[in-house]
């Protein structure tokens, strides 16, 4: 793909979105679709469903943009929470439960292949580097909450760890990320 990706600064993008400019949509998509899709894919697994949710996410961002306030946080934080909530809603809906059951019966092989494709995408190769910066117990908690859509209470239940410990480890994990990225 030789198409040039559109990138704007966050302030420019927010302003353009607020003015309902067409170019803002393109820039928004080019800058954030892969990051958002990464989160959605890990929650719902099924790629076709993830694509539907990605579309719903952009629709919601576009339509409820007036409720975003830069004072309360960064644009991506707001968007990723929309994507995560839509994914979890889908995961818990009756439709999806039926759908995923049928998937198991119908074409196990293809869906497994699809999942593999998702997991082994070359874009994810950087994860290896990161694994070394995060301790396993930090990574498991962060991934449960950030990529699997668990609440920290659910994560405590799942891992059998006290709430306080969960909070501490989550904070430590993010501090490690800050050291690594910022």
Q: According to CB under 8 A, which one of 99, 135, 159, 161 is a site residue for other proteins?
A: 99
User: Residue 73 CB, nearest distance to other proteins (Å)?
Assistant: 6
Binding mask 136-175 toward other proteins (x if CB under 8 A, else -) reads ------x--xxx---xx--------------xx-xx--x-
Site for other proteins in 66-85 (CB under 8 A): 71-74, 76-77, 80-81, 84-85
Distance between CA atoms of residues 20 and 166, nearest Å? 41
List of long-range contacts for 79-84, beta carbons under 8 Å, 24+ apart: 79/32, 79/36, 80/35, 80/36, 80/39, 82/57, 83/36, 83/39, 83/40, 83/53, 83/54, 83/57, 84/39, 84/40, 84/43, 84/149
Distance between CA atoms of residues 102 and 108, nearest Å? 9
Enumerate binding residues for other proteins (CB under 8 A). Answer: 1, 22, 25-26, 29, 33-39, 41-42, 49, 51-52, 54-56, 58-59, 62-63, 71-74, 76-77, 80-81, 84-85, 95, 98-99, 102, 105-106, 118, 121, 123-124, 126-127, 130, 142, 145-147, 151-152, 167-168, 170-171, 174, 177-178, 180-182
């Amino acid at each position: 793909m030789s198409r040039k990706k559109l990138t704007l600064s966050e302030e420019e993008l927010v302003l353009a979105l607020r003015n309902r400019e067409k170019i803002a949509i393109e820039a928004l998509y080019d800058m954030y679709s892969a990051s958002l899709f990464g989160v959605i894919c890990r929650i719902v697994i099924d790629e076709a469903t993830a694509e539907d949710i990605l579309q719903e996410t952009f629709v919601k961002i576009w339509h409820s943009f007036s409720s975003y306030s830069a004072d309360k946080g960064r644009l991506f934080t707001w968007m990723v929470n929309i994507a995560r909530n839509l994914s979890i809603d889908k995961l818990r809906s009756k439709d999806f439960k039926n759908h995923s059951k049928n998937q198991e019966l119908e074409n196990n092989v293809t869906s497994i292949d699809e999942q593999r494709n998702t997991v082994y995408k070359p874009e994810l190769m950087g994860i290896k580097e990161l694994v070394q910066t995060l301790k396993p117990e930090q990574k498991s908690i962060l991934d449960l909450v950030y990529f699997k859509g668990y609440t920290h209470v659910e994560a405590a239940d799942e891992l059998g760890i006290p709430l306080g410990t969960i909070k501490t480890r989550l904070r430590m994990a993010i501090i490690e990320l800050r050291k690594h990225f910022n």
